[in-house]
Chain A
Amino acid sequence: MLDLRDFIRAVEAEQPDRVVHVDKPVDPAEFEVTAVLQQLEDAGRNPMAIFHRPKNLFGEVSRFPLVTNIYAERERCAQALGLPIAQAKFPLSLEYGRRELQRIPPTVVPREEAPVKQVVQVGEAADLRQFPIVRHHHMDPAPYIDMTPVMKDPDTGAYNAAYLRMMYKGPQKLGLHMSPRHNWQITRKHEERGLPTRVAIVVSHHPAFYLGTLNVAPFGDDDYEVIGSVAGQSLRVTASETWGDEFLVPADADIVIEGEIPPGVREVEGPFGEFPGTYGPQRLRWIIDVKAITFREDAIYQDVFVGHADDWIQGGLPKEARIYNLIKGVVPSVTAVHLPTSGVCRLHCNVSIDKKVDGESKQAAFVVLGAVDMIKHVFVVDADVDVFDDRQVLWAIATRVQADQAVDIIRNAKGNTLDPSQTDPIMTTKMIVDATKPVQRPFSERILVPKEAQARVPIADYVRESSQPAPSGAEASPTGVEA
């Protein structure tokens, strides 16, 4: 059974230095949650943060504690999927890719066995103001719920879950932004038939649930099955309050909001601080009329710090194995793929290959650009460069690139509307940087301190910090200079 509390306890036990607690009351709607996160980030820290006394939209201390920044470090994503934190780099990506290809059907449980039904509110009792909803950035016009609505395809019955932004508009009303992807398709199908679209917003659940929603399975595949596969166990679901067995909701979620998107209705929504770290503009978007709210007695509210590592890492991670597997079919010498946080885990892609033939780097880069249209710049490096280390990638660019020979520009390719650098709403310019050494001619070797020498003098045994007392007697410094 997926339980958010189990995850939090596991992180506390295994990575206690990566969890912080805020015991004093804070007002999330007045930027005070993100203000704490920003200060931590500025200090070079990205811990999971638990706010024990956040205020709700009534201005009172909410009954719901708030957890955020869960995904801001890959080690916690590894823990969420049951992997050792030592496997948080590329092994995590590969494991995600392996699980994503499989399917585990959900398990339907009666409502009596569903923790999310411990408290049920319908009608006016289902009041969004009870939650500590977060206003993230200075130009966001209202607090936003930024977790995952689930919708159901009216033709196939398949469920689809996706991160979408939802603007607080009233006690029973949210604005909803969608781009033309899977949930948008489901909504369009309902609107064409003049029907409201049913939606269950999973506001809080075990992080494996959310990592599962980030799958790139084709439209029509049932996300409840993919989520189960990514989580490594069947997702327990139960009947909704509003539509009964016709629409199932995650039984082990902490909080679920049920509502309907009325057909043909659009209202002003945004601007909103988006993933590139810039604002998306105010637009005409859908609304959700809230019908019911259900939650656990001990529910914890959850939020993602959008436009920061918490948002970036979980968006990039699922793409890495998919890209790797595609490259592998064309360039078998590929060794790793990474979408770095420096490129918001969307716009930059680092690829390492153990190049055997000149031209393989560009072949690999073509695959990347064809696989994910969000990616704008591809950096291909040799296998001696760690693609997870930006300093190493930049070193390779500095020492192995002649721009007139190693850089290719591709104009008029499909991009992402939220990329602020685009001068066209759809199209963008892409770049391939081949930072690999040539195979066909000699090239200066990278300097190297012998590994066996490093093994002979491990710093744990040989290095004394200046603050530590100096040894006495024979091991004392002959220079007499001691801290």
Chain B
Amino acid sequence: MAQIFTVTCPSCGGGFPVHPELWQAGYDLLCPFCGRTFAQEESPLIVTGNGERRPGTAYRDGSAAASASPVSPAPEASPDAHAESM
């Protein structure tokens, strides 16, 4: 479970885990606590997989996210053939 960013919601302040595949694709995020959808750069605090703590604006162009991640994101066709929970 190395590939996690913790993102803070700009509305309610709740923190939740996000996979880099979503992050690097530039998709808006969904806060599980208040239901708000927000752009990643709106987040007041993002903690990367290697422990770096920055506001979302630091990742506006996407490049910082890529460099901050300690590992490459898993491709869709990951060889992880037994990753399902059962």
**A interface list, Cβ under 8 A from B:** 139-141, 162-164, 178-181, 188, 214, 268, 270-271, 274-275, 278-284, 306, 311, 314-315, 346, 372-374, 414, 416-426
Partner of A180, one of B1, B4, B77, B85: B77
Task: Please tell me the size bucket of the interface on B.
Answer: 20 to 34
Check A417 against B22 for contact (C-beta < 8 Å): no
Residues of B within 8 A of A421 (CB): 1
6 A-B pairs within 8 Å (CB atoms) are namely A139-B32, A163-B85, A180-B79, A268-B22, A284-B25, A417-B83
Check A282 against B17 for contact (C-beta < 8 Å): yes
Check A282 against B1 for contact (C-beta < 8 Å): no
Cα distance A271–B16 when bound, in Å? 7
Residue from the set B4, B25, B80, B86 with the largest chain A CB neighbour count within 10 Å: B86
Q: Which of B5-34 contact A (CB under 8 A)?
A: 5, 16-19, 21-22, 25, 27-33
Check A283 against B74 for contact (C-beta < 8 Å): no
Check A420 against B1 for contact (C-beta < 8 Å): yes
Partner of B22, one of A279, A283, A419: A283
Partner of A162, one of B78, B83, B84: B84
Partner of A139, one of B2, B4, B16, B29: B16
Cα distance A275–B84 when bound, in Å? 10
Check B27 against A284 for contact (C-beta < 8 Å): yes
Residues of B within 8 A of A181 (CB): 81-84
Check B85 against A425 for contact (C-beta < 8 Å): no
Check B85 against A422 for contact (C-beta < 8 Å): no
Check B30 against A179 for contact (C-beta < 8 Å): no
Cα distance A419–B82 when bound, in Å? 12
Check A373 against B19 for contact (C-beta < 8 Å): no
How far does the Cβ of A72 sit from chain B's closest Cβ, in whole Å? 15
Q: Is B71 an interface residue (CB 8 A)?
A: yes
Check B71 against A418 for contact (C-beta < 8 Å): no
Q: Is B57 an interface residue (CB 8 A)?
A: no
A179-B83, A181-B83 in contact; A271/B1 too (CB < 8 A)? no
Check A417 against B79 for contact (C-beta < 8 Å): no
Extra inter-chain contacts (12) besides given A163-B85, A284-B21, CB under 8 Å = A139-B33, A178-B84, A179-B83, A214-B86, A268-B27, A281-B17, A282-B32, A283-B19, A417-B3, A417-B80, A417-B83, A426-B79
Partner of A416, one of B3, B16, B18, B83: B83
Residues of B within 8 A of A270 (CB): 32
Cα distance A422–B27 when bound, in Å? 26
Check B3 against A281 for contact (C-beta < 8 Å): yes
A140-B32, A271-B32, A283-B19 in contact; A163/B3 too (CB < 8 A)? no
How far does the Cβ of A210 sit from chain B's closest Cβ, in whole Å? 10
Residues of B within 8 A of A422 (CB): 1-2
How far does the Cβ of A301 sit from chain B's closest Cβ, in whole Å? 21
A281-B17, A426-B79 in contact; A274/B85 too (CB < 8 A)? yes
How far does the Cβ of B45 sit from chain A's closest Cβ, in whole Å? 16
Cα distance A271–B3 when bound, in Å? 13
Cα distance A314–B37 when bound, in Å? 36
Cα distance A149–B17 when bound, in Å? 26
**9 shortest interchain CB distances as A-B pairs:** A141-B32, A179-B83, A281-B17, A275-B85, A281-B19, A179-B84, A283-B19, A420-B1, A315-B86
Partner of A426, one of B32, B74, B84: B74
Check B71 against A424 for contact (C-beta < 8 Å): yes
